[in-house]
A and B are shown apart, each in its own frame.
Chain A
Amino acid sequence: MKNSLKVERAIKNITQEELAKQIGVTRQAINSIELNKYVPSTVLSLKLSRYFSKTVNELFSLEESD
C-alpha cells in the first residue's frame, strides 16, 4: 500500500511531530506510516483523512503486491 502522507504534510507545511499531536498518535506511528512500514487502522486512516480534508482513497492506494 502506498500513501501520500509525506506530500500532504509538505503541502500543509507541518512536521511529523505536529501532525502526530493533531491526530493523537505518536511521532513514531506517523514516521512508520510514511516509510510504508506500518499500515494504519481504519480509525487512524479516517482521522488522517479528516485532518487533510482528503478522502482515504486519495491518501492511501493499493499496490500490485496487495
Chain B
Amino acid sequence: MKTKFLFPNRFKRIGWIILVPSAILGILIFFGIVDFKFLEVKVFAIYSGSLLPGGETVFGVINENISEEIFEILCIVGAILVAFSKEKQEDEFIAKTRLESLVWATYINYAILILCLILFYGTGFLYVLWFNMFTLLIFFIIRFYYILYKS
C-alpha cells in the first residue's frame, strides 16, 4: 500500500535505539542525578530569560550546559522515527489505526494540558510544558501499538 509522509520500516528500530537511551539520560538530567559538566559551552541565543536582574540576553552569546538540549532533540527525533516509520506491512487497517491514534493522542494530550493549566503554576507549569514537548508522541505510540497488539 502506498503511504505518504512515512519513513521506511528500518527507521523504526533506529528510532527506538535513539529514543530509549536519550529518554533515560534526559530524565536523569532532569532530576539532577547525572550532569555532563563538560557540555557547559558558549552558545548563541536569540533570547535567554533569567530571574536575576540583568540576566537577560537578546541576540547574544551565553554560557549554557547543552546536555538537556541534546537529549531533548534526540528524544524528539527518536520518537518521531518510532511513531512515523512504516510497519513491516502497511494496509488500510494500519492507516486507519494510525490516523485514529493520532487524533486520540492529540485530544488526550490537550485534555491533560488543560487540566495542568488549572493545577500547576509558576515553574511548576514550566515542568508541565517540558513534559508536554514529548507527550503527544508518547501517547500516540502507546495507543497505536496497543491497538495493533490487541487486534
A contacts, CB < 8 Å to B: 24-26, 28-29, 31-32, 37-38, 40-41, 44
Q: A32-B93, A44-B92 are in contact. List 8 more A-B contacts (CB 8 A).
A: A25-B91, A25-B92, A25-B93, A28-B93, A38-B93, A38-B96, A40-B92, A44-B91
* A29–B148 touching, CB < 8 Å: no
User: A37 to B100, alpha carbons, bound, how many Å?
Assistant: 13
Near A by CB (< 8 A), chain B positions 121-151 give 148, 151
* A26–B96 touching, CB < 8 Å: no
A-B Cβ contacts below 8 A, count: 29
B contacts, CB < 8 Å to A: 87, 89, 91-94, 96-97, 148, 151
Pick 11 A–B contacts, CB within 8 A, sort by A: A24-B91, A25-B89, A25-B92, A25-B93, A28-B151, A29-B91, A29-B92, A29-B93, A32-B151, A37-B151, A38-B96
Q: In the assembled complex, which residues on chain B have CB atoms less than 8 Å from the CB atom of A29?
A: 91-94
Q: In the assembled complex, which residues on chain A have CB atoms less than 8 Å from the CB atom of B89?
A: 25-26
Q: Interface of chain B, helix or strand or loop or mixed? A: helix
* B94–A41 touching, CB < 8 Å: no
Q: In the assembled complex, which residues on chain B have CB atoms less than 8 Å from the CB atom of A38?
A: 93, 96
* A28–B96 touching, CB < 8 Å: no
Closest 3 interchain pairs by CB? A29-B93, A28-B151, A25-B91
| Nearest neighbor of A27 in chain B, beta-carbon distance | B151
| Nearest neighbor of B151 in chain A, beta-carbon distance | A28
